[in-house]
Amino acid sequence: MKKLSLFFFLFLIAVLNVFSQQTKVVSGIVSGPDGPLAGVSVSAKLAGNTVATNEQGKYVITANYADTLLISAIGYTPMQISVGDRDVIDVDLSERITSLGEVVVVGYGTQTRRNVTGSVTKVSMKQTENLPNTNVTQALRGRVAGVQFIDNGRPGQSGSILIRGVRSLSGSNAPLIIVDGIFFNAGIQNINPNDIESMEVLKDASASAIYGSRAANGVILITSKKGSTEKPQLQINLFSGAADRAHKVKLLTPERYIERMRDYNIQAGLPAAQLSDYLYPSEIANMEAGHVNDHWKMVSQNAPLVSVDASMSGRTKKTNYYLSGSYTDEKGLMLNDQMKRLTLRSNIENQIANWLTIGMNTTFITRNESGTLPAASSNIHPYSTLYYDDGEPRQYMLPEDQVSQGNPLYNALLNKNETIINNIFANFYAIVKIPKVNGLQYRLNYSPNYRWDHNYNFFRQDKHESSNTTSAGKFHREDFDWVMEHIITYTKQLGRNHRLDLTALYGMDGRSSSSTTANSELFASDILGWDNMSLGTLFTTTSSASKQRGVSSMIRANYGFKDRYLFTFTMRRDASSVFSENNKYALFPSGAVSWLLSDEGFLEKNRLIRYLKLRLSYGAVGNQAISPYQSLSASSITRYVFGDGGTSSLGVYPSQMPNNNLKWESTYTGNIGVDFELSEGRIGGSLELYSMKTKDLLVQRSLPAMTGFPSVWTNLGATTNKGAEITLNTINIKSRAFEWSTNFVFSQNKNAIRHLYYSDADGDGKEDDDINNRWFIGQPVNVAYDYVFDGIYQKGDTYPPGYKAGDVRVKDLNGDGNITAAADRTVIGQTGQPKYRWGINNTFEYGNFSLNVFINGMQGWISSIDLVGNGLQNDRNFNRIDHGWWTEENASNSMPSLIYTNPLGHGYYMSRNFVRLQDLSLSFNFPGTWRKMLKLTNARIFLSGKNLLTFTKWPGADPESGANQNGIPLRKMYTIGFNVSF
């Protein structure tokens, strides 16, 4: 198969090469909104020439007839223009975000927006440059239709990304991240957002199929910056801010806490006449002395943020460079939560000869995420005693030591932690223009990604404990990933009507990882910490290692007829070691057609419709997002000591069920898209409808305990995702001084399980559900399946045996008078992802001021949250969410009494719907006269607020991430920043 396609490819090249290679001289003037632009790079792709515009914006270049001019300059949208018969080509570069000539990265190449056939959303970094984002995901949150980014509130952490919903039941749903063309396995938090030129999100199969086996969850392409002007540019960005909780959890106040403890005793039939019946003496003493704990103050810290970033870039005739460095120091809201990140980047490209260009993009990142966070912080009750008089933390919050309620600060203060993550990622490439064959090019990529990180812990002596509490652990890990790719591309214009663009790839990749953990306990002295573990008495060492390999080949053909009928065909073949012996290989084909209606005669003269494109695509992509060795049988080890004073014996036991048939999961996606621009570009946008079917799902299926194993990785069934995405950009008002523009995105995704095991054991003619895994035919992948809450039993009601007033009543769904697990549980709602997501961004520009307001929301999801506390031990002295409780006097019909034991084990479900004012920023651009005076090319100052308002009924720390009572809250941040370039 592969060889055949190669011969076909070479044959095509030979035939097409017969056509003209004549060159000519083209000239023109490049202008921006304020007049001619100097130092703009103009290159002719086929002829391989690059020139820059002079002070008057003029360029002269030798190009082929079939050539395409690439015109680019920092701060402007690059353009591609076909040369054709023209001798003079004047170009207007625009700063506008939507532009049809905009170059879009599509994976293994670029295309202009008008020529793209698949569903590709470009995220301009311009939109978010005034926002204090230290992480790429923050820049994307809510801004791309169909994409969900969830910030987990931690400084420097990546959160999670989901494109067009959940496909896989238990394989990873994280999209593939590609940085400058190479798989990036290191985590998106390693990337300095200011190094990014653009990001493209590939959503349909046609766009993503070139990444075949890894693309099932969508692909995010990240392109780092390059130099584009002859005059070297120096740019400095600086911002600093402070943070608070975006959304506050309502915990029991001291008064409510006392009330709750008292009501518990009353309901449990225990004495409750006086405080000492339900509070501990130390609590009463604290109360009388006026010592009240604000749980939040005890576990939080000031959360300042500082970020500095500097870059230098430029290009000469032969060389193009971009160098940058950034430093971010960010503190989280929780005590000890912090991140310091240093990044360095060097992108250099040199044209050694007309036919040879060599370049290397390299980045080094080091992140320091040291610190031990407090444990379940909201458990701190108002009158607990957290410290001894000498300031040392207590292990338990009640000095009487009667209740095993641990002090959340104990570990945070006694344990020292150092977590450092380092990463070097490089991409070396060589581009060879094959002599004598115009448009034929070979590219070699070799990209190593080396990561090493460590995590050290030392638990010091608790001065108030007689036993030795010391222990230390050192964890070291090394990861080495590599990618080697050979890519051939061939571009050919055949006469005026036919344009052909071919790409072929052969690549190999590998990943290896190894780690070692050394632990030492019972230190003779704790002064040296983890640096001398020999001071301990009891030692354990563990290590692990893994390796995986992949081989890929791919061919893609783009064909354009009259530049308005565009076709793309892609075929990729992938192999991965992680699958079972018989299923290493898989084939992923895809195709797409697009039709530029606006170029047709019947619309060409239409003044309203400037641009209208219809896109259709269908194809397959795969998912290999499982760890190595999952198809193999595995055993784990344990230890036992026979005899008194005996030595430790090794024990081995089976721990993983094998699966000799584990294979690729494939997703087949059909996509219909419409792109449009109306009214001179005042209204633009796109509409996407898609239907995805995923089969042979990679699933970690829970097994009956009787099989001996908890779960196994297997392929089964099928899921579908159907949805719609709307992106709308409008310029609502545009006058000389004032402009108001709006960007609106909306997406809706309906996810359903179609098949599981194709079994019908109960013979009812319908495929069986898998209740234990909570998987139901026709329902979304993540659902709450439970008894249906039906209020609270009140005094005088008839109770089931064992029940009493104040207990939860659940619905008798089948009306047989009994509550049974078989008949009275049902699907209550969708969890995990919302039904609808939307975001609306408004930009107001007046003179040199610009105001940006971004609101986003998600609707149609629920989650279970603990609202009643631990039913087993409700008397214990915890603080918790104040969501009320049933008492005889105040007979709630929504919350049970404090002694309700939840015999059915049901959950409490709350909506996670929210609307959030996510970003608000005001910026001021220095006017030209100021800049001239200060000799600056550009200068801007901005004020920004993040997560300022959240509207939700979710009682936990954050609805978007689903953080519960003890979850880490999202930060509300206020920042001031400064960008300057010269």
Per-residue binder mask for another protein (CB under 8 A), 245-284, x = binder? -----------------------x-x--------------
Show contacts with another protein in window 944-973 (CB under 8 A).
none
* 403 neighbors 396 (Cβ within 8 angstroms): yes
The least CB distance from residue 635 to another protein, in Å, is 4
The least CB distance from residue 814 to another protein, in Å, is 12
* 536 neighbors 472 (Cβ within 8 angstroms): yes
Closer of 584 and 931 to another protein (Cβ): 584
Show contacts with another protein in window 897-936 (CB under 8 A).
901, 903-905
DSSP reduced 3-state for 677: strand
Instruction: Look at residues 422, 241, 227 and name the one whose alpha carbon lies nearest to residue 328.
Output: 241
Closer of 579 and 942 to another protein (Cβ): 579
C-alpha 751/C-alpha 775 separation (Å) is: 12
Candidate segments 296-304, 558-566, 572-580, 690-698, binder of another protein by CB under 8 A: 572-580
Closer of 153 and 622 to another protein (Cβ): 622
Q: Assess 707 for contact with another protein (CB under 8 A).
A: yes
Show contacts with another protein in window 726-765 (CB under 8 A).
759, 761
Candidate segments 140-148, 225-233, 284-292, 769-777, binder of another protein by CB under 8 A: 769-777
DSSP reduced 3-state for 25: strand
Q: Which residues pair with 852 in a beta bridge?
A: 843, 921
Q: Which of 36, 670, 710, 884 binds another protein (CB under 8 A)?
A: 710
Instruction: For residue 967, count other CB atoms closer than 10 A to its CB.
Output: 18
Closer of 657 and 855 to another protein (Cβ): 657
Per-residue binder mask for another protein (CB under 8 A), 409-448, x = binder? ---------------------------------x------
Instruction: For residue 789, count other CB atoms closer than 10 A to its CB.
Output: 17
Q: Bin 935: left if φ > 0, else alpha if -120 < ψ < 50, else beta.
A: left
Closer of 35 and 704 to another protein (Cβ): 704
The least CB distance from residue 405 to another protein, in Å, is 10
The least CB distance from residue 700 to another protein, in Å, is 11
Show contacts with another protein in window 771-810 (CB under 8 A).
771-773, 801-803
Strand runs labelled E in 703-788: 711-734, 738-755, 783-787
C-alpha 324/C-alpha 363 separation (Å) is: 9
Closer of 327 and 629 to another protein (Cβ): 629
The least CB distance from residue 67 to another protein, in Å, is 24
Q: CA-based angle 286:287:291, to the nearest 5?
A: 55
Instruction: For residue 463, give both structure tokens.
Output: 């001065």
Residue 716 to residues 307, 663, 699, 707, 759, Cα–Cα distance (Å): 47, 10, 7, 18, 11
CA 634 to chain centre: 32
Instruction: For residue 912, give both structure tokens.
Output: 């996670």
Q: Which of 537, 814, 890, 893 binds another protein (CB under 8 A)?
A: 537
Closer of 690 and 909 to another protein (Cβ): 909
Candidate segments 53-61, 150-158, 533-541, 590-598, binder of another protein by CB under 8 A: 533-541
Residue 91 to residues 14, 40, 51, 52, 303, Cα–Cα distance (Å): 34, 11, 15, 13, 48
C-alpha 293/C-alpha 627 separation (Å) is: 45
Q: Assess 553 for contact with another protein (CB under 8 A).
A: yes
Closer of 35 and 802 to another protein (Cβ): 802
C-alpha 90/C-alpha 418 separation (Å) is: 58
Q: Which of 15, 292, 353, 545 binds another protein (CB under 8 A)?
A: 545
Q: Which of 353, 356, 538, 934 binds another protein (CB under 8 A)?
A: 538
Amino acid identity of residue 669, one-letter, is T
Q: Which of 404, 497, 606, 814 binds another protein (CB under 8 A)?
A: 404
Closer of 20 and 660 to another protein (Cβ): 660
Closer of 709 and 836 to another protein (Cβ): 709
The least CB distance from residue 93 to another protein, in Å, is 37
Instruction: For residue 524, count other CB atoms closer than 10 A to its CB.
Output: 11
The least CB distance from residue 619 to another protein, in Å, is 23
Q: What is the largest CA-CA distance in the chain?
A: 101
Candidate segments 26-34, 562-570, 725-733, 871-879, binder of another protein by CB under 8 A: 871-879
Pairing of strands 23-32, 91-92: parallel
Pairing of strands 68-72, 79-82: antiparallel
Q: Which of 56, 276, 534, 818 binds another protein (CB under 8 A)?
A: 818
Show contacts with another protein in window 615-674 (CB under 8 A).
628-629, 631-654, 657-660
* 618 neighbors 205 (Cβ within 8 angstroms): yes
Per-residue binder mask for another protein (CB under 8 A), 460-499, x = binder? -----x-xxx----------------x-x-----------
Closer of 138 and 773 to another protein (Cβ): 773
C-alpha 297/C-alpha 374 separation (Å) is: 12
> For the residues of 898-944, what is the DSSP string, one character each?
TT---TT----EEE--EEEEEEEEEEEEPPHHHHHHHT-SEEEEEEE
Candidate segments 71-79, 98-106, 400-408, 739-747, binder of another protein by CB under 8 A: 400-408
- Which H/E stretch holds residue 410? helix 409-414
DSSP reduced 3-state for 169: coil
Show contacts with another protein in window 301-340 (CB under 8 A).
none
Instruction: Look at residues 41, 30, 37, 20 and name the one whose alpha carbon lies nearest to residue 85.
Output: 20
Instruction: For residue 461, give both structure tokens.
Output: 């002596």
The least CB distance from residue 656 to another protein, in Å, is 8
